[in-house]
Structure 1
Amino acid sequence: MNPRILLLALLLMGGGGAFLFFRLLSAPAPLPAGPAPEARREVLVAVHSVRPGDFLRAADFTPRSFPISKIPQGAADASLKARHGLDGAVARQELAADGVLKADGFVTPDETGFLREVLAPGMRAISIFITPVTGVSGLVEPGDQVDVVLVQQAHDGPDGHEGAAGAKGVVASARILAVGQSVRKIQVDPKKEAGGTMPSPSTATLEVSPEDVGVLSVASKMGDLVLAIRPRSSEGQASSVPQVDGEKVSMKLQNTTRRSSVRVYNGTASASNVEF
């Protein structure tokens, strides 16, 4: 090989090596790795505000992820099973919207003393008989606010004449604690319902004042007790169903009945009005 070419090749190789060597020396030092991201966990937060004594449902809460250091101690589990377990539970503590639910913030129907936890201070629990008609077609459920109406059938008066039937509200804004033996919303089985084997609850347990316990006990012997569901916006209002008797109903029907009149011509001799 030509010595000049060999020398040129060696110079090129040496220059390239020197260039790489100095390039490595001048390269910036690698930045230190940042702290690892903090572990997170899902907990349940309230969709809306919750008051002590409110019946809870899974839909009242939604899972949300937080850094573990930001999660309050004792936060409730956010698993699907835990959420379904909230159906029928009752809040022990007040919780604002977006507040984290704690494991000791509610009581479930399976716990001992559940009914005592549900009752507001000074209130009592009493059960009354209901039917599909008096119980709002089975649509009434725990947590609903209802008026209780006493309906009395027509009866013979002291003079031998039949007395008029009547209705009167006896308890206003009572809270439903249980329907039948269930404090949860009744899950209807379509197959059983279609086959006519779906039993209807025969009792409803209400939260009432001590005085109203006596009122309902006596009223249940005087006639049928009918439940009327109140809207959520009326909670806390004491107004009840006004008293109505058969005579008032008859008068209202007479006043509201529309009468039609037809003019009938009997040939050309005369004409008359016929009302019906």
Structure 2
Amino acid sequence: MNIARIVVLTIALGAGGVAAYLVRQPETKPGPAEPVAQQLPTVEVLVAQSDIGLGQSVKQENLQWQAWPAATASNNFIRRNDRPDAIKDVIGSIARAPLIAGEPIREQKLVKADGSGFMAAILPPGSRAVSTEISAETAAGGFILPNDRVDVILSRREKNPDQHSADLVRSEIILNNIRVLAIDQAPKEKDGANSLLGKTVTLELKPEQTETLARSRQSGVLSLALRSIADVNVADSASQDQPPKRGQSINVVRYGVPSSTTTQK
């Protein structure tokens, strides 16, 4: 075999090897372009960095700015672009309602004490805080807790015209749907307890209701009837500001036994 033929054969074998290698390589096709996530417009709002309890004084470490979707940011939220120094304004306020970590700060839930005590700070405008004595027997066995709603019942003993019969005990609901502010000096539940025994209860009353309560304390024994949470917004048939009229029949439940009585005319 001459040299020229060997060279041609070598070149042919090399070209064939290169072609075989290229055939074995997978064909790469351009894939579809990945969709680019659209960035939603956001706004920085002031939120609670940690839980803030009822009556707690707000400190700087309880607050932080957090990005919030602009479309869902309420007008009640405190926005950084509107109030960049809002943290300084909020520090020292008292929480009128609990706030959980991550919850946007709303000024409706805060109040400036301005040197006043806690109860005066959280009391709604136009309302009065009035305390009265209670016991386990007159306060639903201790199952009444702060922020519950109660009816106040006045029970009094009267002489029976019939000297051979026992004295009469008459009861009437004097106040309806009253908010409990505190039991003793506890304005909230302690450690998630489902009952709280105390000797005094502080009620949230209107000015005219305070007079009714003060008169009734001198007339007989006051009891609290716990209302269902489902009945808080239910309108009562009787006025919440005026006691029932004399001669009105009232259903009274004692030890689980219902009975009917009539107030004195």
TM-score normalised by L of structure 2:
0.53
Is the aligned partner of 1:167 residue 2:171? Answer: yes
Instruction: Summarize the alignment of residues 60-79 of structure 1 with structure 2, pairs less than 5 Å apart.
Output: 68-70=68-70, 72=73, 73-74=77-78
Instruction: Summarize the alignment of residues 1-276 of structure 1 with structure 2, pairs less than 5 Å apart.
Output: 2-13=6-17, 15=19, 28=30, 31=33, 34=36, 68-70=68-70, 72=73, 73-74=77-78, 89-90=96-97, 101-107=104-110, 114-154=118-158, 163-187=167-191, 200-231=197-228, 232-233=230-231, 235=233, 236-237=235-236, 239=238
Residue-by-residue CA offset, 1:57-92 (whole Å, 9 max, x unaligned)? xxxxxxxxx9743463548xxxxxxxxxxxx95389
CA distance in 1, matches of 2:68, 2:35: 22
Q: Secondary structure at the match of 1:141?
A: coil
CA distance in 1, matches of 2:109, 2:152: 29
Aligned length: 195
CA distance in 2, matches of 1:210, 1:105: 23
Greater per-residue helix proportion = 1
Call closer, same or farther: CA 1:169–1:243 in 2, change over 3 Å: farther
Residue-by-residue CA offset, 1:99-137 (whole Å, 9 max, x unaligned)? x743534249x9965434543432211011110010111
Q: In angstroms, what is the RMSD of aligned CA positions?
A: 5.0
Q: Which amino acid aligns with 1:90?
A: A
Q: Which runs of 5+ in 2 are unaligned?
A: 48-53, 55-65, 80-94, 253-258, 261-265
Whether the aligned pair in 2 keeps the contact of 1:145 and 1:176 (CA below 8 Å) is: yes
Residue-by-residue CA offset, 1:188-244 (whole Å, 9 max, x unaligned)? 779xxxxxxx98211111111212212211211222100012233353425277666
Q: Which amino acid aligns with 2:69?
A: S
Q: Following TM superposition, by how much is the alpha carbon of 1:162 offset from its aligned partner in structure 2, in angstroms? A: 6.5
Q: Secondary structure at the match of 2:107?
A: coil
Whether the aligned pair in 2 keeps the contact of 1:128 and 1:204 (CA below 8 Å) is: yes
Whether the aligned pair in 2 keeps the contact of 1:172 and 1:238 (CA below 8 Å) is: no
Q: Which amino acid aligns with 1:229?
A: L
CA distance in 2, matches of 1:32, 1:149: 71
Whether the aligned pair in 2 keeps the contact of 1:136 and 1:228 (CA below 8 Å) is: yes
Q: Which runs of 5+ in 1 are unaligned?
A: 45-54, 56-65, 76-87, 93-99, 191-197, 247-251, 254-276
Whether the aligned pair in 2 keeps the contact of 1:107 and 1:117 (CA below 8 Å) is: no
Residue-by-residue CA offset, 1:232-274 (whole Å, 9 max, x unaligned)? 335342527766699xxxxx79xxxxxxxxxxxxxxxxxxxxx
Whether the aligned pair in 1 keeps the contact of 2:175 and 2:209 (CA below 8 Å) is: yes
1:83 alignment partner in structure 2 = none
**Which shifted more, 7-16 or 146-155?**
7-16
CA distance in 2, matches of 1:9, 1:105: 88
Q: Which amino acid aligns with 1:104?
A: E
Percent of residue pairs bearing the same amino acid type: 18
CA distance in 1, matches of 2:37, 2:190: 51
Whether the aligned pair in 2 keeps the contact of 1:134 and 1:226 (CA below 8 Å) is: yes
2:61 alignment partner in structure 1 = none
Call closer, same or farther: CA 1:102–1:166 in 2, change over 3 Å: same
CA distance in 1, matches of 2:12, 2:125: 102
